[in-house]
Amino acid sequence: MLSSCNLEFGFRKVEVAAGFSLRFKKFMIILKSAKEIKKMRRGGQIVAQVCQKLTEKVRPGISTEELDRVASTLIRMNRAVPAFLGFRGFPASICTSVNDQVVHGIPGSYRLREGDIISIDFGVIYQGYYSDMAVTLPVGNVSRDAQRLIEVTKSALDSGITQMVPGNKLYDISAAIQECAENNGFSVVRELVGHGIGQKMHEEPQIPNFGKRSTGPYLKAGMVFALEPMVNMGGYEVKTLEDNWTVVTADGSLSCHFEHTVAITDNGPEILTELH
């Protein structure tokens, strides 16, 4: 049962009709207890361990469906459930997005090639709670530009996490991510956002990867967010392929994605999906 003491409220602009009138939607952020965060910490460690194994497997020649099989097996061995499998009909346990694919790529027969970059995104359900993470990995040797995109996207995530301190405001996170990406000459995807996470994979609030500092609701201990900058080498526009899942950059430029599930504590951010 939710009681009023574990909810925080915020407001978000909602576009009502083709860019004209704006109204504000009220949203609730569910605060997690220490007991809940403990469960999420365990789930987060499962995700981190599986991610480590997948990182070791990524090399030229391996197919994305082999990576999916490895992930699925390891998740179940840890008595967790692949959170993405069947989610709105998604057919696999992980998303594999290669090169200009931003997110939601479906694993298949494609074999990774030297010079590719691959984003792997997945989550688990453990004891009723979700964890979610993503990394982008180089396949063999990649171009210097691709390497820099990976490093900057990782830094953008770190910059966002650093803002997850009680007393800061929600869009301080968004602004920090945007500044890091844009100061390095890249763009942040607008159409997809980070999110609150807990007993559902996607809870309020939505966390755009762009925004204005000192705006939004105050951050409080007990909030748990999945921050996930998606950074493009070219423009920020994206489109969805005919499979209705795979999101690619509109201009064909490379794209990178990093994500962590992070709890706000009185001592600052705790990255639940970082390997301990």
Type of residue numbered 141:
N
Determine if the peptide bond prior to 205 is cis (ω within 30°).
yes
In whole angstroms, the minimum distance from the beta carbon of 44 to Mg ion comes to 13
Cα torsion through 11, 12, 17, 22, rounded to 10: 60
Q: Which stretch binds Mg ion (CB under 5 A): 14-22, 108-116, 224-232, 249-257?
A: 224-232
Distance CA 233, CA 143 (A): 13
- Decide: is 132 part of the binding site for Mg ion (CB under 5 A): yes
Which is closer to Mg ion, CB of 30 or CB of 142? Answer: 30
Write out the DSSP string of 102-161: EE-PPP-SPBP-TT-EEEEEEEEEETTEEEEEEEEEE-SS--HHHHHHHHHHHHHHHHHH
- Decide: is 203 part of the binding site for Mg ion (CB under 5 A): no
Distance CA 94, CA 17 (A): 35
In whole angstroms, the minimum distance from the beta carbon of 259 to Mg ion comes to 5
Neighbours of 63 (CB within 10 A): 15
Q: Which stretch binds Mg ion (CB under 5 A): 57-65, 99-107, 205-213, 221-229?
A: 221-229
Distance CA 152, CA 183 (A): 10
In whole angstroms, the minimum distance from the beta carbon of 103 to Mg ion comes to 9
Q: How many residues bind Mg ion (CB under 5 A)?
A: 3
In whole angstroms, the minimum distance from the beta carbon of 129 to Mg ion comes to 14
- Decide: is 226 part of the binding site for Mg ion (CB under 5 A): yes
Which is closer to Mg ion, CB of 142 or CB of 231? Answer: 231
Residues 227-266: x where in contact with Mg ion by CB under 5 A, - otherwise, as a string: -x--------------------------------------
In whole angstroms, the minimum distance from the beta carbon of 130 to Mg ion comes to 9
Which is closer to Mg ion, CB of 112 or CB of 226? Answer: 226
In whole angstroms, the minimum distance from the beta carbon of 229 to Mg ion comes to 11
Distance CA 242, CA 247 (A): 10
Which is closer to Mg ion, CB of 105 or CB of 142? Answer: 105
Kind of pairing between the strands at 117-126 and 238-240:
unpaired
Distance CA 32, CA 37 (A): 6
In whole angstroms, the minimum distance from the beta carbon of 133 to Mg ion comes to 8
Kind of pairing between the strands at 101-103 and 94-98:
unpaired
Q: Which stretch binds Mg ion (CB under 5 A): 109-117, 181-189, 210-218, 225-233?
A: 225-233
Interface residues with Mg ion (CB under 5 A) are: 132, 226, 228
